[in-house]
Amino acid sequence: MAFDLTEAQRSAREGYRALAAEHIEPFASQWDRDQALPGELFLSLGSRRLMAPTIPAAFGGIGMDMMNYGLFSEEVGRCCQSVRNLLGVQGMVAHSLLRFGNPEQKSRWLPRIANGETVAAFALTEPSIGSDASNVTTAATRTDSGYLLNGAKKWISFGMKADVFLVIARAPGGVSAFVVERGTPGFSTAPIPDLLGLRASMLGELTFADCEIPAANRIGKEGIGFAWIANTALDFGRYSTACGCVGLAQACLDASQSYSLERKQFGVAIREHQLVRRLLTNMKANTQAARLLCYHAGTLRDQGSPEAIQATMLAKYFASTHVAQAATDAVQIHGAQGIGSNYPVQRYLRDSKVMEIIEGTTQIQQVFID
């Protein structure tokens, strides 16, 4: 088990940190207020081959390993959870296509996802089906040349921006996965605005009303859509989320350390008060613990270990519950300033709560971790 970084990994992390500090951090609060990411960001990340960097070069990625991807997700998550979510979703869809798509499907969609020209979304959740995701009700009935989709998907990240959607629906042979392209007749999207957190993630509700898609858009066989394809995507998304939570927790710690030095009460910097010190110490210890769980999961993922799935769940569970506490404590340390707009901890708190809901809620992780 590698619990520390190599020189090459440290240096790569510095590069990701510099990139996020220049291109993401200064704009994150504005994007949160705008409830959208700007169009140029997608292309700028794509031009650096960072939209789906773990995809092999043959399909437009750079074949980044999972340890590096974790470091990248941490540094992006430290600055903006919506951008981290964007990259997580691109990876979820890209890996599903890479693993289960046929050669024609891979060459059709992967290079454009990798270079940011095509934005992808992953559509599993429905208005009445959340955690119980294997019971999706969106129907895919066979036609002479393909499938007719009917139903709805809700809470879909980048649903208002995406060009292609990996849709999990119930076909005659069982739950299956399909690619639906924006503009397909019978397919429409509606925004879900004013969220608590991840406000720049451009969430949408999708409606399929006799939406006909060709058989060539089915990914893999009928019946493997949940057990294999959605679970592959969710496992990838959980790793991205876990590492992003470490970044967000580090941002909470950095902000709290800095403010607790700057703010004086009772004649001393508030960090001199032992009860504030306790909050800082717990935040630091648990952030490092979450980071090490992510390194462990990343190492196992790179080794192709079957234990990687459980290690990833554990990392996501610990990191997301920790960051929700860390952000609460960061706001507490900032006092009234914590709920104002001069400091970013208010955004951190709102984003942190979402981490306990996406890619399997805290309770679902508690049920499924062995």
Ligand X SMILES: Cc1cc2nc3c(=O)[nH]c(=O)nc-3n(C[C@H](O)[C@H](O)[C@H](O)COP(=O)(O)OP(=O)(O)OC[C@H]3O[C@@H](n4cnc5c(N)ncnc54)[C@H](O)[C@@H]3O)c2cc1C
Q: 16, 31, 100, 122: which one contacts ligand X (CB under 6 A)? A: 122
Number of H helices, E strands in the chain: 11, 10
User: What values do phi and psi take at 141, rounded to 5?
Assistant: -95, 145
When asked if residue 363 is in the footprint of ligand X (CB under 6 A), the reply is yes
Residues 327-356 that bind ligand X (CB under 6 A): 354
Closer residue to ligand X, CB minimum distance, 97 or 280:
97
When asked if residue 314 is in the footprint of ligand X (CB under 6 A), the reply is no
Query: What are the helix (H) ranges across 5-102?
Result: 7-23, 28-34, 39-47, 66-79, 81-100
Query: What are the helix (H) ranges across the chain?
Result: 7-23, 28-34, 39-47, 66-79, 81-100, 103-114, 231-262, 274-303, 308-334, 345-355, 362-368
Dihedral sign for Cα 249, 330, 358, 159, please: negative
Position closest to ligand X via CB: 130
Name the amino acid, one letter, at 120.
A
Among 323, 281, 322, 302, smallest CA distance to 81 is for 323
For the chain, state the CA radius of gyration.
21
* Catalytic residue from among 25, 205, 356, 359: 359
When asked if residue 361 is in the footprint of ligand X (CB under 6 A), the reply is yes
Known catalytic membership, residue 75: no
CB of 157 to ligand X, least distance (A): 3
Residues 124-163 that bind ligand X (CB under 6 A): 124-125, 130-131, 155-157
When asked if residue 364 is in the footprint of ligand X (CB under 6 A), the reply is yes
Closer residue to ligand X, CB minimum distance, 155 or 259:
155
When asked if residue 231 is in the footprint of ligand X (CB under 6 A), the reply is no
Among 247, 254, 240, smallest CA distance to 316 is for 240
Q: 90, 138, 176, 201: which one contacts ligand X (CB under 6 A)? A: 201
Which residues contact ligand X (rule: CB under 6 A)?
A: 89, 122-125, 130-131, 155-157, 198, 201, 203, 354, 357-358, 361, 363-364, 367
Q: Active-site positions?
A: 359
